[in-house]
Amino acid sequence: MIPVIRFFLQQYWRVSRPLTAGARVLVVDPAGRVLLVRHTYMKGWYLPGGGVDRGETMRAAAAREIWEEAGIVATGELTLFGLYANFKEFKSDHIALYVLRDFTQEVRKSAEIAEIGFFPVDALPDGTSAATRARIREWGEGQVPPDFWAHDETVRV
C-alpha cells in the first residue's frame, strides 16, 4: 500500500474506531483437540471469534461467534482465560479469550468460514497464525497470559 494512503487510513481508523472489543474461544473437544476456523476473506487458521456488538457482553459475543462460525452451542461454562491488547496497524483492540470444553455442535454453513476442524495441539495445520499458536501453547502449558495478542508488541506511550 502506498505509504501516504496507509497513513491516512490509520488516522481515520484512530478517529472512527478508537477502541474495539473482541472475543475468541479456545474450544476443546473430549479428545483434547482444539477448534480452528479458516475464513473466506483471509488466509490462515484462527480461533473462532469476532467483535463485541453494542449492548453485548464479551461472553455473549464469544457464544454468538462460535455459533455463527462453527455451529457450536456452549452447554458448559465459557471460562475466561485471558485479556489481551492488540495495537497492530494503529488499532486499539482488546480481546477476551475464553475456553470451552462442554458443547454440542450442529452442522451449519457460514458465508465467512471456508473450513472448520478440530486439531491436536501438537499437529496444528499449516497456516495457523502465530498468535493462535501462542494462545494454544499458553493454555496447554498453563502459562499466565501475556498482555498483548501479538508476540512482538510492546506498550505504546
Residue 85 belongs to some domain of the structure:
yes
Residue 153 belongs to some domain of the structure:
no
Residue 134: predicted pLDDT:
94
CA distance 23 to 156: 22
Residue 86 belongs to some domain of the structure:
yes
User: Could you count the other beta carbons within 10 Å of the beta carbon of residue 37?
Assistant: 23
Kindly state the cell numbers that stand for 118: 478440530
Residue 156 belongs to some domain of the structure:
no
More confident residue, 92 or 136: 136
Residue 5 belongs to some domain of the structure:
no
Grade residue 89 by pLDDT with cuts at 50, 70 and 90. low
CB 26 within 8 A of CB 97: yes
Cα 96 to Cα 52, 107, 111: the distances in Å are 10, 26, 24
- Number of folded domains in the chain? 1
Residue 148 pLDDT greater than 60, yes or no: yes
Question: pLDDT digits over 9-24, tens only?
Answer: 767 766 666 678 999 9
Residue 146 belongs to some domain of the structure:
no
Residue 38 belongs to some domain of the structure:
yes
Element spanning 3, H or E: helix 3-16
- CATH number where 29 lies: 3.90.79.10
Name the pTM for this structure: 0.83
β pairing state of 93-100 and 20-27: parallel
φ/ψ of 17, rounded to 5, equals -140, 75
**Which domain covers residue 112, as residue numbers?**
18-140
Residue 153 pLDDT greater than 60, yes or no: no
Mean pLDDT of the chain: 88
The amino acid at 64 = R
Residue 114 belongs to some domain of the structure:
yes
Which residue, chain included where needed, has cell 495478542? Answer: 149
